[in-house]
Every structure is written in structure tokens, then in C-alpha cells.
Amino acid sequence: MEELNILKTKIIGVPLNFGANRCGLEFSVENFIDRYPKYRDKIEVLGVEKQLEDFSTKGAKYLNTVAKTCEELAVNVNKIIKDGDFPISLGGDHAIAIGSIAGVAKEKEIGILWMDAHGDMNTPEISDSGHIHGMPLAASVGHGHSKLIDCFYNGAKVKKENVILFGTRDIDEKEQKLIDELGIKNYTWEMIAEMGFEKALGEVKEFFKDKNLHISFDLDGIDPAEITAVGTPVPGGLSREMGKTLVSEMIDTASVTSIDIVEYNPIYEKGAETSEYVDELLQLIEKKIN
């Protein structure tokens, strides 16, 4: 009997832009598939259904639509985990991580490696913009709006001590205060540049060694000199190669359960370097996991 080529990696495309309130993100998944037709049958696209919103909720814009999308993503991710497979959530804005993390955390105790230029540790009370894509990490550790914290099931999804921020270089003042209060480990880009990427990576590997790990990979964590298609670029950050080394070596070291690749916004693409990078990341993950 011919052996079937069964892939463990399952890619879910979530073209959410309401968490960032930034046009372009809703075209991310279709645009990527259009550029790389080989993914057409590989990516399951989750539709974003607009919900009735209460616009007096200034601190968390489009809360109901974001919460509904995250809930649906959580259901899908959870099924993939239960089937013993490996979910890759392709954004869309970073708010989707609330759903992907919830879907995994229901079944397994996980740590989170959050690679990002930003902290994503805002809450509706302290956020200046009210954009939920700046809140997903806070919500996942149990801080912020209850509709976000309680995605898929009630309560925090991850223990704050099991989280590492990596590559940050733009954290709001009040957000920094919350990071400090909670004692969230934060490898800022400044620290990584000073100690050297290899040493920083070595420490992160040591911390998550043999533990279940969800990687949330924000493309804006990469140096905007090397990729352009992100809505909120911040100078500095990991090189493309460092980003790939991070993913590759974490898969070798930890028990990586799931990955997000988010904030691909084709409107800002100068050439094709960002979509190429997403393709390179997906190929790398598929090769390592399958």
C-alpha cells in the first residue's frame, strides 16, 4: 500500500485587521496565497465576521469582532492540537494570538516566546490607542478586558513566569510598568545587541528546554531595513537570519506546540521581501515539524 504523505503542520490564515485598525492587513492572507499559489490548498482561511460593536468602549476598539475571531481561531487550533498536529496561525494582526494561545493552552501547559518590537502588554485601561493588537500578551496572562482574557475558556492561559519577550524596542510607559510589576522576562533589542544574539538565544533555549512552547512571531520584530511589510516598524531588531535561527533552534530545543506569524501587511511591501520571508519561515517550520 502506498504510504500517505501526512503533514502535521496545519496553517490557518486569519486576515484580521480590526485589532490594529490598519488597512492592508485584511489582504494579507489572500495576497500571500496569490503570490505563492502552492499554499492555496494548504492554508485554511478563517473569515473575519464583523460583529455589532459598542463604540463607547474606547479602550478596546472592535472588541466584539476581535473576540469572535479569536474564539473561532481557538476552536480551530484546539482541534488541530487534539489531533496531534501542529497549528501555524498566519495573520493578520497580532490580536489573533489571543485565540491561538487559548486553543493550545486548553490542552497543554505552555510557555510563550513573544518575538516582537512591541510589548503587546497593554490593557484597555492603559492603552493610548485602544488597538487590541497591543494587548494579546497581557490578555493571555490574565490582564485586560474579560472578553479577551476569557477567550475559549475562562481565565489566564499562561503563567506570567513562563513568558519571554524578545527583541522589544518600543514599549509604552504604562505598559513597561505592568511588565515590571508582573516580572515578565524581557530581552529588549538593546540587551540582545549588547550581549550578543547567540548568548541571548542560549539563555532563552535554556529556559524553555524540553518545555511546551508557543512561539508568537511578530514580523515587526525583524529589522525594518530587511523587511518592509509591517504597519508599525521600529528601527533595530533581529536580522532575517536571526529570526529563522530563533525559530529553528527553539524547535530543536523545546517542545514547540504551535506558532503564530503575524502583522504581514502587503500595503507596505517595497519589493517582495516580506512575503518571501513568510514563505521561508513556513518552509523552515514545515521541514522541521513534518
Interaction site with Mn ion (CB under 5 A): 94, 116, 120, 218
Compute the least distance from the CB of residue 118 to Mn ion, in Å: 5
Compute the least distance from the CB of residue 116 to Mn ion, in Å: 4
| 214 among known catalytic residues | no
| 120 among known catalytic residues | yes
Q: Which is nearer to Mn ion, 235 or 271 (CB)?
A: 235
| 172 among known catalytic residues | no
Catalytic residue among 131, 133, 143, 214: 133
Q: Which is nearer to Mn ion, 10 or 94 (CB)?
A: 94
| 131 among known catalytic residues | no
Q: Which is nearer to Mn ion, 218 or 269 (CB)?
A: 218
Compute the least distance from the CB of residue 72 to Mn ion, in Å: 20
Q: Which is nearer to Mn ion, 13 or 221 (CB)?
A: 221
| 145 among known catalytic residues | no
| 133 among known catalytic residues | yes
Catalytic residue among 93, 94, 145, 260: 94
CB 168 within 8 A of CB 118: yes
Compute the least distance from the CB of residue 221 to Mn ion, in Å: 8
| 116 among known catalytic residues | yes
Query: Mind telling me the catalytic residues?
Result: 94, 116, 118, 120, 133, 218, 220, 263
